[in-house]
A and B are shown apart, each in its own frame.
Chain A
Amino acid sequence: MKNPHTWRYLTVQIILALIGLSIPAQIFHLQHSAEAKAILDAVYRYNGWEETFYPKRGDIYDSAGHLLAGNQTVYEVGVDLTALNALDENARPAQENNIALAAQLYLDMTYNEAIEKMKNPPYPDSTYVVLADNVAEDKALELKDLKEKSLYEPSGHNLNQLGFKAHYQRSYTENSLAANILGRVPPQDKAGHSGVEEKYNSLLAGTPLTVWVPADPILARDLPTPPVGTTLILTFNRDVQAATEEVLDDAINNTGAVSGTIVIMDPKTGEILAMATSPRPNLSDDAHYGDTLSVEHPLNPAISKDYEPGSVFKILTMAAALDKGVVKPDTTYFDNGIILINNIPIRNWNNTVWGLQDMTGCLQHSINTCLAWVATQLGKDDFYNYLQKFGIGHTTGIDLAGETPGQMRLPMLADSGWTPIDLGTNAFGQGLSVTPIQMVMAASAIANDGQMVYPHVLYATVQDGKQKNTSSMIVATPIRAETAHTLNEMLAASLENEASKALVPGYRLAGKTGTAQIAPYATNNATNASFIGWGPLDDPKFLVYVWLEKPQADIWGSTVAAPVFKQVVEKLVVLMGIPPDNIRLQPAGP
């Protein structure tokens, strides 16, 4: 029997089937329409972005764990030009006005500057323009707070198009302390300039990481975190550095010197314990950073300014002659005030005549003619071979950016311009130039049993919680240990015999003064006054080099530089906890 309602069922089924089929058909249509393409393009455009994560720059600590260079949060404040352009012609000027007024109040810029940046972005198709970067956190947060409050402003005045992006900026906690060692990272830069910041930039900066950041939360995943930059621990203690800088500043004030340098090194390890120079810029004051610096006054003259060292250089001449065996401490020299080298006369300072002297006397009275004679006894080949072994004429390789090698003419090089008189003048530190760090490294051989150490400021690196200490390095052994011991005794005796102003009660020290004329010698009375010394003599813990450039109060190293050495040592023995010799050398108790 045929159901009379079959056609009705059939009709309903067909209608439902058509409705059902229309749904996928519409889906298919929507996905392939022109509008769909535009929507998909927009989705692809906004479904994520490439972002570069800059790791936190590694911290720098002193040898006692005090933070010297850290990081602080600053903000980049910008304007979303896409959102600004989406406004109608009437709304846009009003909105630009709001933003410019806020920028004038919070971002240290004029109203017109802000308007100009919004109207003329760096690129025609820019979607974002930076109004100000490195904005201090408190200012940026105030402005951000104002933006959030303006969302509910009934008048419609708001700062919706302002964007804030936080990032790190280098911060120097000790201002000008050790500025010459640290160098700096300028706020507008991500790379270190000068000093440790430049030398170890790749370690400190780490490796930036560029990743695709999906906007779709379903695609969100654990983004890789770039490892923070390596932390550095330096060899110097900030208290020793501060005390040394204080002594140097006082010395410059008292003597009227143009500038000064004091370098302190551990002669056994090469660790720099302090390196004070002047002038020192304030690393936290970017606006005036370069005010005191110039070609004549570089950031770190201890490594980048060479000069004629004068009589402190005599210790190297004497070390070479003793080591070669051409003189002994009791070898005598009769000084009549003049010596002829290749028929050119060399005289003592102020034409002084010292008569018969042994080698200790030659050092004690700093007799130019005697040391010129010693150099001639040694011969030019041996003399310059020894100087090269001491590293003169080459950079020391200290781990600070900007080192210069100094100048020394060599008879072995035909085009160096060397003349026979150079042998005589070089013997007492004239006619060649060195940097203070070169003198310190060379003298370390005398203080350290003939072994010359590599000067360095990096004590250790810390990465992923693991500390890796720097090992000390012997660069060369230019003289024998016996030679070094002999010369130490001669230098200590010469200080004691002349009752030097460098002597520190309780401690036996070795040292030598230096007073070098600055060219042109005939018309210029200015000098470089210096002193190099180390102690305690039996077990040297420090080697101190003092250089005062053009002192006005007095020109002599013995009167202006030697007392500075004494002041430094008096502070050093306290800060480093070095007891006087009579306590340190007493036999151990039961």
Chain B
Amino acid sequence: MNNISQFVLKYRQASWRVQLQWLALFVLGLVAIALVAFGYLNISTRTTRAGREIQTLKDNILIEQRENADLETQLALQISSQKMAPRAWALGFQPADPASITYVVVPGYTPRKGIDMSVAGAQPAAQVIPPEYTQSLFDWFAEKIQSTASVSEGLP
């Protein structure tokens, strides 16, 4: 007991030790702030980069859509009746004459119905960015609490 009292006394008499303690605490605080700043900068940089990519991708989507429309139109121009008819004539084809057609009766044959241009599984355009990228920490926290409460109350 006496030894401990003496150690504390000696420690207090060496004031540089107390100052060192404060300095260490200050440096620790500084490091913590630096870490937060680093984290903030890191996230900001990544957000900026992602934002720039979104802008670029959005522009690219518009360009691709225009190119698709251009290609569809160019294809249609190439197979338009004004282009196809002379090519057919040049290849030796001629319009069919009713008298030269031979019809064959096929029992059970049903002629093709009208055109169907629906696309299987097509869905309306949807937002592509998941909520994780847009909601705030508070929103996320509130959502989690809400979902936990819903589960505990047995809600679907």
Residue of B nearest to A213 (CB): B55
Residue of B nearest to A571 (CB): B95
Say whether, besides A221-B134, A233-B117, A467-B118, A227 and B73 are in contact (CB < 8 Å): no
Q: Does B6 contact A (CB under 8 A)?
A: no
Q: Does B12 contact A (CB under 8 A)?
A: no
Q: Does B36 contact A (CB under 8 A)?
A: no
Say yes or no: A459 contacts B117, CB within 8 Å. Answer: no
A588 and B110 alpha carbons, distance in the complex (Å): 13
Say yes or no: A70 contacts B79, CB within 8 Å. Answer: no
A582 and B15 alpha carbons, distance in the complex (Å): 123
Q: Does B91 contact A (CB under 8 A)?
A: no
Residue of A nearest to B73 (CB): A70
Q: Does A550 contact B (CB under 8 A)?
A: no
**Interchain CB contact (< 8 A) of A223 among B58, B63, B96, B105:** B58
Say yes or no: B111 contacts A462, CB within 8 Å. Answer: no
Say yes or no: A570 contacts B44, CB within 8 Å. Answer: no
Q: Does B128 contact A (CB under 8 A)?
A: yes
Q: Does A81 contact B (CB under 8 A)?
A: no
Q: Scan residues 46-83 of chain B and give those whose CB is less than 8 A from a CB of chain A.
A: 47-52, 54-55, 58, 61, 63, 65-67, 69-70, 72-73, 75-77, 79-82
Say yes or no: B115 contacts A65, CB within 8 Å. Answer: yes
| Surface stretch bound by B, among A25-33, A172-180, A362-370, A399-407 | A172-180
A459 and B77 alpha carbons, distance in the complex (Å): 23
Residue of B nearest to A225 (CB): B125
Say whether, besides A242-B81, A506-B98, A465 and B58 are in contact (CB < 8 Å): no
Say whether, besides A3-B15, A233-B115, A466-B122, A173 and B77 are in contact (CB < 8 Å): yes
Q: Mark B106-119, 1 if CB is under 8 A from A, else 0.
A: 01000100111111
Say yes or no: B103 contacts A583, CB within 8 Å. Answer: yes
Find chain B residues with CB under 8 A from A460 CB: 114-115, 117
Say yes or no: B76 contacts A238, CB within 8 Å. Answer: no
Q: Does A137 contact B (CB under 8 A)?
A: yes
Find chain B residues with CB under 8 A from A59 CB: 72
Find chain A residues with CB under 8 A from B85 CB: 242
Say whether, besides A221-B134, A467-B118, A168 and B69 are in contact (CB < 8 Å): yes
Say yes or no: B51 contacts A219, CB within 8 Å. Answer: yes
Say yes or no: A577 contacts B111, CB within 8 Å. Answer: yes
**Interchain CB contact (< 8 A) of A71 among B73, B114, B116:** B73
Q: Does A66 contact B (CB under 8 A)?
A: yes
Say yes or no: A173 contacts B76, CB within 8 Å. Answer: yes
Find chain B residues with CB under 8 A from A357 CB: none
Say whether, besides A173-B73, A220-B51, A583 and B105 are in contact (CB < 8 Å): yes
Say whether, besides A65-B115, A174-B80, A218-B48, A72 and B125 are in contact (CB < 8 Å): no
Q: Does B124 contact A (CB under 8 A)?
A: yes
Say yes or no: A70 contacts B76, CB within 8 Å. Answer: yes
Q: Does A417 contact B (CB under 8 A)?
A: no
Q: In the complex, what's the smallest C-beta–C-beta distance from B23 to chain A, in angstroms? A: 12
Find chain A residues with CB under 8 A from B101 CB: 574
Q: Does B127 contact A (CB under 8 A)?
A: yes
Q: Mark A55-76, 1 if CB is under 8 A from B, else 0.
A: 0100101011111001111000
Interface size for B (C-beta < 8 A) is 54
Q: Mark A209-247, 1 if CB is under 8 A from B, else 0.
A: 000000011111111110100010100001100110000
Find chain A residues with CB under 8 A from B47 CB: 217-218
Chain A, interface residues (CB within 8 Å), range: 35 or more
A588 and B108 alpha carbons, distance in the complex (Å): 9
Q: Does A142 contact B (CB under 8 A)?
A: no
Say yes or no: A67 contacts B118, CB within 8 Å. Answer: no
Residue of A nearest to B49 (CB): A217
Residue of A nearest to B134 (CB): A221
Say whether, besides A217-B55, A221-B54, A231-B117, A239 and B123 are in contact (CB < 8 Å): no
Q: In the complex, what's the smallest C-beta–C-beta distance from B98 to chain A, in angstroms? A: 5
Find chain B residues with CB under 8 A from A216 CB: 51
Q: In the complex, what's the smallest C-beta–C-beta distance from A176 to chain B, in angstroms? A: 9
Q: Scan residues 24-60 of chain B and give those whose CB is less than 8 A from a CB of chain A.
A: 44, 47-52, 54-55, 58
Q: Does A537 contact B (CB under 8 A)?
A: no
Q: Does B129 contact A (CB under 8 A)?
A: yes
Find chain A residues with CB under 8 A from B61 CB: 225
Q: In the complex, what's the smallest C-beta–C-beta distance from B72 to chain A, in angstroms? A: 6
Residue of A nearest to B107 (CB): A589
Find chain A residues with CB under 8 A from B96 CB: 574
Say whether, besides A66-B79, A218-B44, A459-B114, A71 and B69 are in contact (CB < 8 Å): yes
Say yes or no: B105 contacts A589, CB within 8 Å. Answer: yes
Residue of B nearest to A62 (CB): B115
Q: In the complex, what's the smallest C-beta–C-beta distance from B70 to chain A, in angstroms? A: 5
Q: Does A50 contact B (CB under 8 A)?
A: no
Q: Which of A56, A70, A166, A220 has the most CB of B within 10 A?
A: A220
**Interchain CB contact (< 8 A) of B69 among A72, A222, A233, A238:** A72
Residue of B nearest to A219 (CB): B51
Write the residues of chain B forming the contact surface with A, with a CB cutoff of 8 angstroms.
Answer: 15, 44, 47-52, 54-55, 58, 61, 63, 65-67, 69-70, 72-73, 75-77, 79-82, 85, 95-99, 101, 103, 105, 107, 111, 114-125, 127-129, 134
Q: Which 3 A-B pairs have CB atoms at the shortest separation, nearest pair first? A: A465-B122, A217-B51, A465-B119
Q: List 16 A-B contacts (CB under 8 A).
A: A63-B115, A64-B115, A70-B69, A73-B69, A173-B76, A174-B82, A175-B80, A218-B44, A218-B47, A219-B51, A225-B125, A227-B125, A459-B114, A571-B95, A583-B105, A589-B107
